[in-house]
Structure 1
């Protein structure tokens, strides 16, 4: 004896052949009610609803199917279903965001970013800046070093009048530009930051010293920008030295010491620091050369103890680096 479901399916098929889609839909609705997890028959129901022009009802069924596939990790199937929904409701930005997330879960990063960009454009056009920011942040989760996305994030935060978050986003973008070797673009971004946030350039030395300990990369970006504005500010140079010591970036540390020596020839801490830095890198021959080059300055200022300490390094194989801010 045929089951109730089989009878309903047979009945629905007869109505379909006769072109009586509404009656076939009723049969399929009963089939789905008997087994709500049966995605195959629910999909057939959705297709019939589309054929009948009942798109809103079809979308409801497709959403149930798509969510089932998503919840159970069948992301490619879920994407296919939501693509059907997108065709039926091309202006439904919620579906665009869902598709972006699904593509991200499947590892289709490029597709995900394309969908998210569409959503961002929609939100901006409709002045939904909070949603635009959230969407861009999802893009950054997928591709955190995308320069265009980082810039869009900063611009949206500024437009949202979130100055602290916007300043941090612009600073991160500037540091990223430097990391990728785009120094020219980084300098332009620093100029833009100075224009957008004039008060930020007035950070106290004490504030910057705290930042060196809490967020050294951010501190380096700020210090570099401030030094470009005023290269005669010795306290800023000393903080930059501290920052490179925190990062243990010996190359930039020694370059910074060298710049300080040129700008402030009477400051012995930089001469001592560059010698110790060479020793920390175990560049003993260079260290000896530097000691010979700078020893006269120590003697001229009667800094006998400092000279003796530097000389002692070579006799005792000292390779650690201290902090010399004088």
Structure 2
């Protein structure tokens, strides 16, 4: 006997109005048993499962509907169905992945990236590192100028031991940041690269120069020691060493390095470079007899001092707000490296006093809370980060909220915010504020004990600079 479809639908509607959802579902089922491709009926069944609170059955039904729509080319309808699924369960990762794939098909790259970021976070927490890597490659392909995502890709390569690929991605980011003049971010990325690949001497040199440009000669020396040990007679390295010594007030060492530079240039027959080195020496020590003789006894103190800057101010008061934040963030990573979590928390608080919306500090607070098994504190930090990011980078905010739901699937605040962001998400990512979570530098990164005896200087140079960072020093 042929099924009277209209009669069945009418009966199902009556049952629905009476709240008899199981009987309504049974009626609709009789239709799809005869016509399994009737998407509209399957959608009604999914809605009924939702009304009766049968989440699992609702999701499986909606997935079937979304797949049918996508297979027939109705991509926007499929998107709407996946959003239904995420309204029921925002932590359902397969829906985020499928929604991202649909956005790619529709040419909505930023929206796809927002979904993929949530999926990547889930994959990484589940140790699905290969899957995470492949998705990160797609994210970077969709947004090649997003520094944070490219750094995340570099980290993923490094985690899997793919160091050549990791280094290439890190260097790509460094080139972008250098071109933009974003020195604070440059420092963080360069330090992270050298943490995983300390043998990259070109990066060491460039980072040393950036530290000197920022007036941070002590950190420059920490990196210059690597270059010096690799090639004690490299004139470029010696130039930077002399400048760094002078900036921290180590005049005798700066003079000795400039004297060695003059000797090297003299042995090479480069008289002009030799005289230039002596002139820089006079900028540090104007009455040096050897340098005065070599330069003809000219009074060139004014010219020399222009090429050899004086000691840099080291107090926090002399630093800009951005420089203080950058230094505090670096200190946080060092404290965490040595297990000084209370010190790290104090530095985080200082950063947030200067910049309450600093995402890098909030991410570090989350990490510390998780290390201390303080899930509530981590969730609070993530919600704060999401609130900040929602104003300038909604896609990044979605990532934070997705992480909250991984820790607390029933979190009402995160669920509500995610729904609001999903309905009105911005069309482009704001990547300029992205702050990578930088791991601490290698153990000797701030040990500036340079063996300058290898330079064979004429005067006896003290080999100890004695500038190792005191992690327990008064921070006031």
TM class by smaller structure: 0.5 to 0.7
| Cross-structure match for 1:141 | 141
| Cross-structure match for 1:125 | 125
| Cross-structure match for 1:154 | 154
* 1:306-321 correspondence runs (5 A): none
1:76 aligns with 2:76: yes
Kindly state the Cα deviation for residue 87 of structure 1 after the two structures are TM-superposed: 2.2
Seen in structure 2, the aligned counterparts of structure 1 residues 188 and 3 have a Cα distance that, compared at 3 Å, is closer
* 1:1-326 correspondence runs (5 A): 4-182=4-182, 185-186=185-186, 189-190=189-190, 192-199=192-199, 201=201, 229=227, 232=234
More helix by percentage: 1
Seen in structure 2, the aligned counterparts of structure 1 residues 88 and 176 have a Cα distance that, compared at 3 Å, is same
Seen in structure 2, the aligned counterparts of structure 1 residues 20 and 186 have a Cα distance that, compared at 3 Å, is closer
Aligned to 1:198, the other structure's residue is in SS state: coil
Kindly state the Cα deviation for residue 63 of structure 1 after the two structures are TM-superposed: 0.8
TM-score by length of 2: 0.40
Seen in structure 2, the aligned counterparts of structure 1 residues 158 and 16 have a Cα distance that, compared at 3 Å, is same
In 2, Cα distance between equivalents of 1:223 and 1:19: 70
Deviations 1:18-57 (Å, cap 9, x if unpaired)?
4322122111012122222221111111111222222222
Kindly state the Cα deviation for residue 124 of structure 1 after the two structures are TM-superposed: 3.0
- Bigger radius of gyration, 1 or 2? 1
In 2, Cα distance between equivalents of 1:266 and 1:78: 75
Give me the CA root mean square deviation. Answer: 3.5
Deviations 1:91-134 (Å, cap 9, x if unpaired)?
22121122222223323333222222222233333433333322
Kindly state the Cα deviation for residue 168 of structure 1 after the two structures are TM-superposed: 2.1
In 1, Cα distance between equivalents of 2:5 and 2:76: 29
Seen in structure 2, the aligned counterparts of structure 1 residues 189 and 37 have a Cα distance that, compared at 3 Å, is same
Contact 1:5 1:34 in 2 (8 A): no
Aligned to 2:144, the other structure's residue is in SS state: coil
Gaps of 5+ in 1: 202-220, 235-262, 268-326
Seen in structure 2, the aligned counterparts of structure 1 residues 199 and 45 have a Cα distance that, compared at 3 Å, is same
Seen in structure 2, the aligned counterparts of structure 1 residues 18 and 195 have a Cα distance that, compared at 3 Å, is closer
In 2, Cα distance between equivalents of 1:72 and 1:266: 78
Aligned to 1:19, the other structure's residue is in SS state: coil
In 1, Cα distance between equivalents of 2:76 and 2:118: 20
Gaps of 5+ in 2: 210-226, 237-264, 271-476
TM-score by length of 1: 0.57
Contact 1:170 1:193 in 2 (8 A): yes
How many correspondences in the alignment? 220
Kindly state the Cα deviation for residue 199 of structure 1 after the two structures are TM-superposed: 4.2
Contact 1:49 1:58 in 2 (8 A): yes
Aligned to 2:174, the other structure's residue is in SS state: helix
Seen in structure 2, the aligned counterparts of structure 1 residues 39 and 266 have a Cα distance that, compared at 3 Å, is farther
In 2, Cα distance between equivalents of 1:105 and 1:55: 28
Aligned to 2:90, the other structure's residue is in SS state: coil
Aligned to 1:37, the other structure's residue is in SS state: coil
Contact 2:129 2:156 in 1 (8 A): yes
